[in-house]
Amino acid sequence: MNLSARKAKALFRIMEELSYGYDVDTLRETVGPLFLDLFDSQYFASYVWSDTEQKFHLPVSINMDPDNLAKYEGYFQFCDPITPVLQRRKNATAVSDVLNTRKLQKTEFYNDFLSKDGLHFGVNYYAYASGSNVGDLRIWRSKGKEDFSSRDIELLNAIGPAFTNAIKNAFCENADPLNSKAMLLNSLENVSRQYGLTVREREIAMSVVLGKPDKKIAEELFIEFTTVRTHLKNIFQKLGISSRSELVSRIVMN
């Protein structure tokens, strides 16, 4: 999957922020704008699921009216024709894959809730830990935009496990905030074994995934800037790619 420089930067930042060990609200507030940038979207919401109360609560949102969201918590989630189906999928799914857009537009949920803020095309991801839904990502585009593609779904599914770990860790007092980074390291190790990357090439590849520029990589590894470029060239040749964004995608999607 080849990403533009802007989208690759958003992806770098998301993976980095998910490894910081934020509390559950700060985590979602921090990554929300990055998800909008990555997916060319206008609206973001994220809820935490309460098994005890059997409902979504503690919303974090971007470009959505808090009063309208309050109506969702108090009423619309109980007549929501799409979310319960999406929730059972346990992976990233476009709203149009569970309910045709034309049919959705005829519902009370669309006309009295979604359209109030301009939401039209959506994709949801539900984070499951030990069989329980712990939180979600809801990303929406306005009318006039394109629906989410299979490429978008694939990318969100690739990020999903790191998001799940971050949410799980945010609720666990003894959580290891480096779990998301550990997942990246495992993916990198798999890619390294598959393509025969050296130890130094693995170090540089990980730095690239974390969004570090070549100059910063050179300083941290105590090597010349030109040496970093040489290693990157070798990495690209081994993986059959031609850009940093392709490298990130290859590792994240592994």
CB neighbour list of residue 78: distance below 8 Å, 6 or more residues apart: 55
Backbone angles phi, psi at 130, to 5 degrees: 55, 40
Q: Where are the domains of the chain?
A: 5-170, 179-252
Rounded Cα distance, 228 and 55, in Å = 50
Does CATH number 3.30.479.10 belong to domain 5-170?
no
Highest mean pLDDT out of 17-21, 77-81, 87-91, 137-141: 137-141
Q: What is the pLDDT of residue 180?
A: 53
Q: What is the rounded average pLDDT of the residues 102-124?
A: 96
Amino acid present at 52: T
- pLDDT at residue 149, rounded to an integer: 96
pLDDT at 179 over 60: no
Please give the average per-residue pLDDT across 168-172, as a whole number: 76
Q: What is the DSSP string of 74-113?
A: HTGGGS-SSHHHHHHH-S-EEGGGTS-HHHHTTSHHIIII
177 pLDDT band, cuts 50/70/90, is very low
Lowest mean per-residue pLDDT among 38-42, 150-154, 157-161, 248-252: 248-252
Asked if residue 211 has pLDDT above 80, the reply is no
Whether 101 shows a pLDDT value over 80: the answer reads yes
Asked if CATH classification 3.40.630.30 holds for the domain at 179-252, the reply, yes or no, is no
- Collect contacts of 29-37 with beta carbons under 8 A, ≥24 apart: 29/60, 31/163, 32/60, 32/61, 32/62, 33/62, 34/10, 35/10, 35/137, 35/139, 36/62, 36/139, 37/6, 37/7, 37/10
Residue 226 has pLDDT above 80, yes or no: yes
Residue 221 has pLDDT above 80, yes or no: yes
Q: What is the dihedral of CA 83, 183, 251, 195, to 10 degrees?
A: -140
Instruction: Look at 129 and 240; give whichever has higher pLDDT.
Output: 240
pLDDT, position 174: 40
Question: If residue 58 lies in a helix (H) or strand (E), which one and from where to where?
Answer: strand 55-62
pLDDT in tens, 120-153: 999 999 998 777 888 999 999 999 999 999 999 9
Question: What pLDDT was estimated at residue 139?
Answer: 98
- Mean pLDDT, all residues of the chain: 88
Please say whether the beta carbons of 191 and 239 come within 8 A. yes
